[in-house]
């Protein structure tokens, strides 16, 4: 398996983290993001959206970090990380959607503005961050993991941009349940980090 990757990308980190946690080897293909390698013809052949991460596994080329987490969990039969019963699978999927929507448009966008200079509405991103962080903190008040009393790919999908909130000027100080959840993820066997986490 090959992972087209950027070290500072939380979406790429999700995949690196999960592969480390399930102890699966892969080849890292660093992408020269600053010089726009993700938009060149070869990259567009792999992903028409011009985004990373991209996972290549034999004949299969996959984009989107959430889809890649699902693929890896199924490929390696890790039903502990992504269960197969209808209700449990859907419970986990709810949070994959949150990673792609509320977290992407909240703390991720705030970080893109502050750290990478993206021209976007940072006040709106910070307001969205407060909303999702409050919901998440309340959700975690009576449980250790997002669903199912065990870590799943839901936790992995949501973790990076929540843990990187400070890089978008969003403090986690008011959210003690989230801070404890972050500590639990960091304590998982084989956990790997990324800059600023
Ligand atoms: N939904 C995608 C989003 C991927 C994404 O936005 N990747 C960023 C790097 S973190 C990217 O490649 N951005 C390039 C661009 O938007 O032009 C995922 O979860 O993987």
The closest residue, in CA terms, to atom 20 on ligand 1 is 64
Average pLDDT, the chain: 98
Query: Cβ(186)–Cβ(162) under 8 Å?
Result: no
Model pLDDT, residue 169: 97
Model pLDDT, residue 183: 98
Atom of ligand 1 nearest to the CA of 39: 17
Query: Cβ(55)–Cβ(2) under 8 Å?
Result: yes
96-122: per-residue pLDDT in tens? 999 999 999 999 999 999 999 999 999
Model pLDDT, residue 22: 98
Atom of ligand 1 nearest to the CA of 68: 20
CA–CA distance, 197 with 124 (Å, rounded to integer): 24
Domains of the chain with CATH codes: 2-75 (3.40.30.10), 86-186 (1.20.1050.10)
Confidence of residue 81 (pLDDT cuts 50, 70, 90): very high
Model pLDDT, residue 52: 98
Q: What are residue 30's DSSP bridge partners?
A: 5
The closest residue, in CA terms, to atom 3 on ligand 1 is 64
> How many Å lie between the centroid of ligand 1 and the Cα of residue 63?
9
CA–CA distance, 129 with 4 (Å, rounded to integer): 28
Three-state DSSP class for 147? Answer: coil
Average confidence (pLDDT) over 64-80: 98
Average confidence (pLDDT) over 49-76: 98
**Among 30, 51, 109, residue to substitute to test ligand 1 (most atoms within 8 Å of Cβ):** 51
138-187: per-residue pLDDT in tens? 999 999 999 999 999 999 999 999 999 999 999 999 999 999 999 999 99
Atom of ligand 1 nearest to the CA of 10: 10
CA distances 162 to 87, 101, 104, 182, Å, are 25, 13, 10, 9
Q: Is 43 touching ligand 1 by the criterion CB < 6 Å?
A: no
Confidence of residue 87 (pLDDT cuts 50, 70, 90): very high
Cβ neighbors of 89 (< 8 A, separation 6 or more) are 82, 83
The structure tokens listed for 4 are: 């087209």
Which of 158, 43, 60 lies closest to 52 in space, CA to CA?
A: 43
Residues in the chain, overall count:
197
Query: Cβ(164)–Cβ(197) under 8 Å?
Result: yes
Sequence-separated contacts (24+) of 143-148 with Cβ below 8 Å: 144/181, 144/184, 145/181, 145/184, 146/92, 146/95, 147/88, 147/91, 147/92, 147/94, 147/95, 148/83, 148/88, 148/91, 148/92
């Amino acid at each position: 398996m090959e992972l087209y990757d950027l070290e500072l990308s939380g979406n790429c980190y999700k995949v690196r983290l999960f592969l480390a946690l399930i102890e699966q080897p892969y080849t890292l293909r660093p992408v020269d993001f600053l010089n726009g390698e993700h938009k060149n013809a070869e990259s567009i052949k792999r992903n028409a959206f011009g985004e990373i991460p991209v996972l290549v596994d034999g004949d299969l080329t996959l984009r989107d970090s959430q889809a890649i987490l699902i693929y890896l969990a199924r490929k390696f039969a890790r039903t502990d990380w992504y269960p197969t019963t209808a209700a449990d699978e859907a419970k986990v999927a709810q949070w994959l959607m949150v990673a792609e929507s509320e977290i992407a448009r909240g703390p991720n966008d705030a970080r893109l503005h502050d750290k990478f200079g993206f021209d976007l509405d940072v006040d709106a991103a910070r307001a969205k961050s407060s909303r999702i962080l409050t919901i998440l903190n309340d959700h975690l008040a009576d449980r250790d993991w997002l669903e199912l009393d065990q870590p799943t790919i839901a936790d992995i999908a949501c973790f990076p941009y929540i843990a990187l909130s400070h890089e978008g000027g969003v403090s986690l100080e008011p959210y003690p349940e989230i801070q404890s959840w972050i500590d639990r993820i960091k304590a998982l066997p084989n956990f790997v980090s990324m800059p600023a986490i």
